[in-house]
Amino acid sequence: MTGKAFRLAAGLAMGAGAASVLAAAKAPGAYPLDGYDRTGIRRLRAYRMIMDGDMPGRLRLPPGARLPTAAIQLRMAGINEAYDIGPDTPRDPVLQAALERIVGRRDPSYRVALLDITDPVAPRYAAIRPDEGYIPGSVGKLLVMTGLFQELHDRFPGDTAGRIALLRQTMITADRFVLPNSHEVPVVRDDWGGVSHRSVRIGDTFSLWEWVDHMISPSSNAAGAMVWKHVMLLDALGAGYPPTADVEARYFAETPKPALTEASIRVLDGPVAAAGLDTARLHIRTFFTATGSRIVPGRSSLATPAQLVRWLLKLEQGKIVDRWSSMEMKRLLYFTRRRYRYAAATILESAAVFFKSGSLYRCRPEPDYRCGQYRGNAENLMHSVAIVESPREGGRPRVYLISMMSNILKNNSATEHAEIAAQIERTMREIHP
């Protein structure tokens, strides 16, 4: 049965929530650490307590990761909302020459798109193979987040308080969709006495806002599957969301698998297309866990650097769903955890970094070769998507958007991504001293 048909059939069986109590909190990751009172994401309060010495643990955050919520801004909203990138967008000669010097002589698998919006009225663009794409891996979680905020907008079109209430108050218990998973998430003790780190387990309960934070910050595949599942449920059930456990189970059991596949694609492709992005070159169509993919069969996925940078650009313009949603998504991307890959460059310690990365590896038999994570010999994808805002004394911050994708076989390219980040930051300092 289709989503709308199921919504009608479910009728008054919809409940007021699928779970009971909040038992855990999110990993050190995104969202400014002063956001607990507004969001209820317990990880935020816990990590502030650690930094203040009120909770056991160690947490070192660079200066750029300590901004308050009020400091997060949309850099193009209300200033230059008409600007866009396309095949005919001219390349800034200085920035293009620098990017070719930094990346052009490296592995030919690199694809990069770079947009300098330090002056939002006059952006500068540079790129290397920007329209050649790869499977996005966990970068595709940006699209799941987009789908969720579109559903919130559709449910509460003029009511941001209603959206906040649903994000905070909807308690969701992990089920088989989370299996298997390995990413650790921090779990805050009920008495605020400490934080442990472990993978998500069946039976763990988090608010919807915390599940999104799990998905973006430590890039939990379990969280990605749970959020995507609930985007589908929001679409199918409308005002009947959140459902009882029985209604939720019936939806996935009684809806034909081809219809589930189409629904999973529609709820993500729709808002991406509505933002003016090319869904042929930017889509995620396979659940992040094996169990999720068995329940909701997937298809192939693809992303290109040009489309990912356009997603970042639309975010800065307040055009991913709407301005409120764009701001919330940018806050969720704010990196308040141990930095890695592109974000690990020490030169960025004073910079605010809004970040998502992804990786995927596959191996094939080869003499004298041992398969390992980030060392795939058939495929070894590593992607970084970032907004970097570096302070400048006496002037507006240096701000650039970047999407970088690579497929360097047999090598963990995380260090090289950080080296490229350092060189790009030096270039930005030369252009905007």
Asked if residue 347 is part of any domain, the answer here is: no
The pairing of beta strand 352-362 with beta strand 205-207: unpaired
In angstroms, the CA 85 to CA 115 distance is: 9
Asked if residue 422 is part of any domain, the answer here is: no
The domain tally of the chain equals 1
Asked if residue 336 is part of any domain, the answer here is: no
pLDDT tens for residues 322-338? 999 999 999 999 988 78
Q: Do residues 110 and 88 lie in contact, with contact meaning Cβ atoms separated by under 8 Å?
A: no
Q: What is the pLDDT of residue 30?
A: 58
Cα-flanking dihedrals φ and ψ of residue 126, to 5°?
Answer: -145, 155
Assign 9 to helix, strand or coil.
Answer: helix
pLDDT tens for residues 111-140? 999 999 999 999 999 999 999 999 999 999
Q: Do residues 113 and 92 lie in contact, with contact meaning Cβ atoms separated by under 8 Å?
A: no
Asked if residue 109 is part of any domain, the answer here is: no
Q: How many other CB atoms are there within 10 angstroms of residue 104's CB atom?
A: 15
pLDDT tens for residues 348-373? 999 999 999 999 999 999 998 998 88
Higher pLDDT, 201 or 18: 201
Q: Which of 247, 427, 208, 248 is CA-nearest to residue 332?
A: 208
Q: Do residues 128 and 110 lie in contact, with contact meaning Cβ atoms separated by under 8 Å?
A: yes
Within 13 Å and on the Cβ side, how many CA atoms surround 321? 27
| Residue 196: domain span | 1-61+137-299
pLDDT tens for residues 221-235? 999 999 999 999 999
- At 8, the amino acid letter reads L
The answer, yes or no, to whether residue 20 has pLDDT greater than 80, is no
Both tokens assigned to 251: 């939806």
The answer, yes or no, to whether residue 19 has pLDDT greater than 80, is no
Asked if residue 398 is part of any domain, the answer here is: no
Asked if residue 3 is part of any domain, the answer here is: yes
State the pLDDT confidence band at 310, using cuts at 50, 70 and 90: very high
In angstroms, the CA 127 to CA 111 distance is: 8
In angstroms, the CA 430 to CA 345 distance is: 17
Asked if residue 108 is part of any domain, the answer here is: no
Asked if residue 330 is part of any domain, the answer here is: no
190, with CB counted inside 10 A (0-12, 13-18, 19+), is: exposed
pLDDT tens for residues 141-181? 999 999 999 999 999 999 999 999 999 999 999 999 999 98
Task: Break the chain down into helix, strand, coil percent, rounded to 5.
Answer: 45, 15, 40
- pTM reported for the whole predicted model: 0.91
